[in-house]
């Protein structure tokens, strides 16, 4: 009888009009309650009972009510769920299947069922699977409910962490396995026979997918003629073929610690196309003449050819011999190879000098390689520095990539380009102000030009430390993959397009096809912008997977250092209000030092992420790039966090 009472209807409308609604992201806690985070400064309490209707990371709309002297958020509507497709571990409770998401902040397991069309085998306790969320309490379901769509592996698999990580980023877990003929395509290309020339390859020990070979000769007056021969998978793979379709999906060979997932079938990348020693192979080549000061001649030739590599050299061996022939345990097998290596080193010196004057050089930072047992245990971590032989290959590849960028630009105006435009226009003024405050006078307008960026980088490189170089990175844009030419500020070049790794990068395969079209006088097919966006996203996913596996292996490796009093030298790389993050110099691991472990009276400390330092009574105690000594005090495998404290406080 009271249902349609006008007074009650009016009262209900009045009450509803006073309810305030806000949108935010759910943040769970170690307790049962949580918070609705609106921004960094504002959040609302979510009671335990209502946290059962949401999960950490959900974006929701909540009603805000004033209760007992505080504002409380009550979830009302789901905007974006945190979990859609996710990885998790199977649990069995009371003959029911549940899945525990592989997310550190998610504590509740989710009831689930297998998709009978996808699952061929019964699921067991401990199996790792991929699931999709079917029901969410805020969208009509009583509880969270998921569907299992794929089995990743069981918990006994030694490679389980790798497979789980790859599944998390929706990346392939195995190299492609496809049968295909290995006959060469009829490309109507006239291939030069260079099989008698003493081409050599220089790679890491154990490299099988060899994609570049070098030949050099002294042609008088200090001039050098370099021919860079690149493996030619497009001689076997036609556009739109099954293998090409697979490569277009994968886009890159995925290099993870202890596991490589090839872009192409291994019979192509490791055999048929690989420039193995004493094997006749088709290549795409670039010939360029370099003057004594490192300047390339304008007459640059691209052509198809046959070569036979005469020797497979190893970076460290070549570096040892060039740096100190008397102490080296290795030497070239004959005078011809010896002359090739010495001339390539001469090229390195001249090109390095040219880049110092006309472009920019890379920062010298080592790569870190994990030595793993067959069961995935970390035996050791090796620092691999960029030595003389690495720089020989680096200078040669950069040179011919510049040549390819110019060739594609002149003939088509498109290709697959690596573009980096320097400073973000939004933050350029802020970057200039920061530099001026540290005694580097710069003009924001000049900073936006390639030459202005080069001049600034050289100024910063001349500083006694790399503090300012590190600080300005947060004002810079990320590099992009584009179809049109653009500057690469990071390299200090007008344009840059790679074609030297077609076995490992699909973009390089596309540039091969465009270069071949130029050689034959044909029109090229312009790559789509959607493809380059996909390349950028896949590159990001690959890097995240590599980071996650590295973090896990670092955590496992450093567990043995807990409370051992072993001291590590570390560089401060970031400062936040909670403490500072450091990178161990010996192995590249990152660790966190909480504020309360920096100083006993840590409440007096002022942490500035913006300025990159920690102060006490206006005195800088630590700043980014400082080298400090630390000890490891805790390792949290589940979250892959390494906790440290200062060695002086230990």
Show which residues are catalytic.
203, 209, 211-212, 315, 504
Pull the structure tokens for residue 424: 């973000």
Going by C-beta distance under 8 Å and a sequence separation of 6 or more, which residues neighbour residue 279? 308, 309
Per-residue H/E/C for 581-596: EEEECCCCCEEEEEHH
* Phi then psi dihedrals of residue 533, to 5 deg: -65, -40
Task: State how far Cα 501 lies from the chain centre.
Answer: 17
C-beta pairs of 44-53 under 8 Å, 24+ apart in sequence: 44/71, 44/72, 44/73, 45/70, 45/71, 45/72, 45/73, 46/72, 46/73, 46/74, 46/75, 47/72, 47/74, 50/74, 50/75, 51/26, 52/108, 52/137, 53/137, 53/138
CA-nearest of 464, 150, 194 to 306 is 194
Pairwise CA distance, residues 341 & 641, whole Å: 45
Question: DSSP class of residue 138?
Answer: G
For tokens 């592989």, what's the residue?
A: 102
SS3 457: helix
Burial 594-628 (b: 16+ CB within 10 A, else e): ebebbeeeeeebebeeebbbbbeeeeeebbbbbeb
What DSSP element (H or E) covers 290? strand 280-290
Pairwise CA distance, residues 631 & 646, whole Å: 6
CA distance readout (Å), 506 to 415, 509, 515, 610: 12, 5, 14, 39
C-beta pairs of 236-243 under 8 Å, 24+ apart in sequence: 236/182, 236/183, 236/184, 236/185, 236/268, 236/272, 236/273, 237/185, 237/264, 237/268, 237/509, 238/185, 239/513, 239/525, 241/180, 242/178, 242/180, 243/176, 243/178, 243/180, 243/268
Q: Do 603 and 591 contact (CB within 8 A), yes or no?
A: no
Furthest-apart CA atoms within the chain: distance in Å? 107
Pull the structure tokens for residue 650: 């230990």
């Amino acid at each position: 009888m009271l249902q349609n009472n006008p007074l009650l209807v009016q009262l209900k409308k009045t009450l509803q009009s006073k309810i305030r609604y806000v949108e935010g992201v759910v943040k769970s806690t170690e307790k049962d309650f949580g918070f609705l985070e609106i921004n960094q400064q504002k959040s609302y309490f979510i009671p335990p009972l209502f946290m059962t209707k949401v999960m950490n990371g959900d974006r929701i709309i909540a009603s805000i009510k004033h209760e007992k002297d505080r504002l409380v958020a009550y979830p009302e509507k789901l905007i974006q769920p945190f979990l859609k497709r996710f990885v998790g571990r199977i649990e069995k409770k009371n003959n029911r299947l549940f899945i525990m998401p592989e997310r550190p902040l998610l504590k509740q397991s989710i009831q689930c069922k297998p998709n009978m069309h996808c699952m061929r085998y019964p699921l067991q306790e401990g199996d790792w699977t991929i699931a999709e969320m079917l029901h969410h309490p805020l969208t009509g379901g009583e509880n969270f409910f998921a569907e299992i769509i794929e089995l990743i592996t069981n918990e006994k698999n030694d490679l389980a962490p790798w497979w789980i990580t790859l599944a998390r980023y929706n990346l392939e877990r195995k190299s492609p396995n496809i049968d295909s003929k290995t006959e060469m395509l009829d490309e109507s290309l006239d291939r030069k026979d260079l099989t008698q020339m003493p081409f050599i390859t220089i790679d890491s020990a154990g490299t099988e997918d060899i994609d570049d070979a070098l030949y050099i000769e002294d042609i008088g007056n200090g001039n050098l003629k370099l021919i860079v021969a690149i493996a030619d998978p497009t001689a076997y793979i036609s556009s739109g073929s099954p293998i090409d379709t697979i490569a277009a999906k994968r886009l890159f060979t995925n290099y993870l610690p202890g596991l490589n997932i090839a872009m192409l079938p291994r019979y192509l990348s490791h055999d048929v196309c690989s420039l193995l020693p004493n094997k006749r192979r088709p290549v795409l080549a670039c010939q360029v003449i370099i003057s004594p000061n490192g300047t390339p001649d304008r007459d640059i030739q691209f052509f198809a050819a046959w070569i036979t590599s005469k020797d497979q050299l190893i970076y460290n061996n070549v570096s040892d011999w060039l740096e100190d022939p008397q102490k080296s345990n290795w030497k070239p097998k004959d005078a011809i190879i010896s002359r090739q290596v010495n001339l390539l080193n001469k090229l390195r010196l001249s090109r390095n000098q040219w880049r110092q004057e006309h472009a920019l050089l890379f920062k010298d930072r080592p790569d870190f390689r994990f030595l793993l047992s067959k069961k995935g245990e970390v035996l050791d971590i090796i620092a691999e520095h960029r030595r003389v032989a690495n720089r020989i290959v680096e200078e040669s590849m950069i040179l011919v990539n510049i040549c390819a960028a110019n060739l594609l630009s002149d003939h088509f105006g498109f290709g697959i380009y690596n573009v980096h435009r320097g400073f973000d226009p939004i933050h350029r003024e802020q970057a200039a102000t920061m530099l001026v405050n540290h005694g580097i006078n710069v003009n924001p307008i000049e900073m936006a030009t390639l030459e202005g960026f080069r001049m600034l980088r050289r100024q910063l490189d001349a500083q006694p430390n790399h503090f300012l170089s590190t600080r300005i990175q947060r004002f810079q844009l990320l590099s992009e993959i584009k179809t049109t030419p653009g500057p690469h500020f990071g390299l200090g070049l007008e344009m840059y397009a790679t074609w030297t790794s077609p076995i490992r990068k699909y973009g390089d395969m596309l540039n091969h096809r465009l270069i071949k079209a130029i050689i034959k006088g044909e029109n090229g097919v312009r790559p789509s912008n959607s493809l380059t966006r996909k390349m950028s996203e896949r590159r990001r996913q690959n890097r995240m997977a590599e980071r996650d596996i590295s973090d896990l292996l670092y955590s496992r490796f450093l567990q043995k250092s807990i409370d051992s009093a072993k001291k590590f030298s570390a560089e401060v790389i970031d400062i936040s209000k909670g403490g500072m993050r450091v990178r161990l110099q010996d192995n590249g691991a990152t660790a966190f030092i909480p504020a309360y472990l920096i100083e006993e009276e840590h409440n007096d400390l002022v942490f500035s992420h913006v300025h990159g330092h920690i102060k006490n009574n206006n005195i800088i105690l630590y700043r980014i790039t400082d080298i400090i000594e630390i000890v490891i005090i805790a390792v949290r495998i589940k979250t892959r966090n390494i906790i440290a404290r200062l060695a002086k406080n230990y």
